Amino acid sequence: MRNILLVLTLATMTTLLAEPSSSYHVTHTYTLGGDGSWDYIVPDPPHHRLFIARQNRVMVVDEDTGTLLGEITGIQGAHGTALADGTGHGFATSGNDQSVVMFDLKTFKVLGRIPAAEDADAILYDNASNRVFTLNGDAHSSTVIDPRAGTLITNIPLGGKPEYGASAGDGKVYANLTDTSEVVEIDAKTATVTRRWSTDPCKQPVAMAIDTAHHRLFSGCRSGLMAVSDYQAGKVVASVPIGKGVDGAGFDAASGDAFASNADGTLTVIHQDAPDQYHVIENVQTPQRARNMGLDPTNHRLFIVSAKFGPAPEAGRGRAPVLPGTFTLMVIEREPATR
């Protein structure tokens, strides 16, 4: 019995030592100010900039200093931003008027407006096809755009309400369908839906991140789970608990950590033990409603935003207003491992 206990103890210690030590925390805080609510935070890794949607504009912020570099204006209901570096053009969804604003990546000057569809929300660039894809929630579709000419190519019916998506870099684009709890696969070149699968037991998938090395998708769900899919097999292979009210997700290939930013004031950190095996490392405390995040894979920094709010309006009359001057950007980094 003593030998058995010794073996078990040694095995437990080995497991604990093998697990990566993790201590993510806020390292920098920058007050950006400005009126209006916010949505997606989109990093621009080559230039260490952030594109932050702010209701009627997109703020462009220097990652290293928190300095406001400029704004893309003329947007009615800002949600997402896509960057097509090879063309010198960026694209921002303007959900209230069902359009996409094309802008210059250097000057941030608006260059044109492209028709999309109702509730144009998330947007992403697929390098393999050199195309931009919007995800139009209420229209249950994706608008495909030529990023050089800034013209509409087509609209793809998706069969459900899309939220966030990801490009696999191999000519396939993936999106969460929140109302049907599915992932849909789009062939970027033919602009057609090729597959779909359930995210069960994960319900209402919204946020998405991707691990292209292991062909895994991470779908953050409002039901309090993250579903991990093998996108080659088209099926969920694991699910792990996350905080409530998720709206952002990320995966850092260097650390093997996946993230879910949640409205309940947590950032759930999940480690990839193997492509089909995951466990929660910690839930980092963040401000309430800091449910959007961006990840720069070149410096492994996470970015979240929050603000203080005024009194909530009467029931059914909209959200509580952001108090002027309180909108804040926070940088979260992992503490270096010590021996």
Q: Residue 226 carries which side chain, given as an amino acid letter? A: M
Nearest CA to 334 out of 290, 271, 276 is that of: 271
Residue-averaged pLDDT of the chain: 92
Residue pLDDT, tens place only, 63-100: 999 999 999 999 999 999 999 999 999 999 999 999 99
Q: Is the pLDDT of residue 9 over 50?
A: no
Q: Is 194 inside any structural domain?
A: yes
| Bridge partners for 204 per DSSP | none
Give me the pLDDT at residue 265, please.
95
Give me the pLDDT at residue 316, please.
61
Two structure tokens written together for 167: 């490009």
In this prediction the pTM is 0.91
Listed in sequence order, the DSSP H helices in 201-303 are none
Q: Is 5 inside any structural domain?
A: no
Q: How many residues does the chain have?
A: 339
Q: Is 268 inside any structural domain?
A: no
Nearest CA to 82 out of 166, 180, 158 is that of: 166
pLDDT band at 235 (very low <50, low <70, confident <90, very high): very high
| Domain housing 165 | 39-198
Report the run of H or E that residue 10 belongs to, with start and end.
helix 2-18
Q: Which residues contact 323 (CB under 8 A, 6 or more apart)?
A: 307, 308, 309, 310
Cα distance from N-terminal residue to C-terminal residue, the chain: 33
Q: Is 116 inside any structural domain?
A: yes
Look at the chain and report how many structural domains it folds into: 1
Residue pLDDT, tens place only, 17-53: 444 555 899 999 999 999 989 999 999 999 999 999 9
CATH number at residue 170: 2.130.10.10
Q: Is the pLDDT of residue 211 over 90?
A: yes
Give me the pLDDT at residue 239, please.
98
**CA-to-CA distance for 249 and 206, rounded, in angstroms?**
9
**CA-to-CA distance for 29 and 230, rounded, in angstroms?**
36
**Cis peptide leading into residue 205 (ω within 30°):** no
Q: Is 156 inside any structural domain?
A: yes
Listed in sequence order, the DSSP H helices in 93-223 are none
> Are residues 145 and 153 in contact, defined by beta-carbon separation less than 8 angstroms?
yes
Residue pLDDT, tens place only, 282-305: 999 999 999 999 999 999 999 999
Residue pLDDT, tens place only, 157-172: 999 999 999 999 999 9
Q: Is 74 inside any structural domain?
A: yes
Q: Is 4 inside any structural domain?
A: no
Per-residue b or e along 13-41, where b marks 16 or more CB atoms closer than 10 Å to that residue's CB = eeeeeeeeeeebebeeebebebeebbbbb
> Are residues 177 and 164 in contact, defined by beta-carbon separation less than 8 angstroms?
no
Give me the pLDDT at residue 212, please.
98
Residue pLDDT, tens place only, 123-176: 999 999 999 999 999 999 999 999 999 999 999 999 999 999 999 999 999 999
Q: Is 246 inside any structural domain?
A: no
Mean pLDDT, residues 331-337 taken together: 86
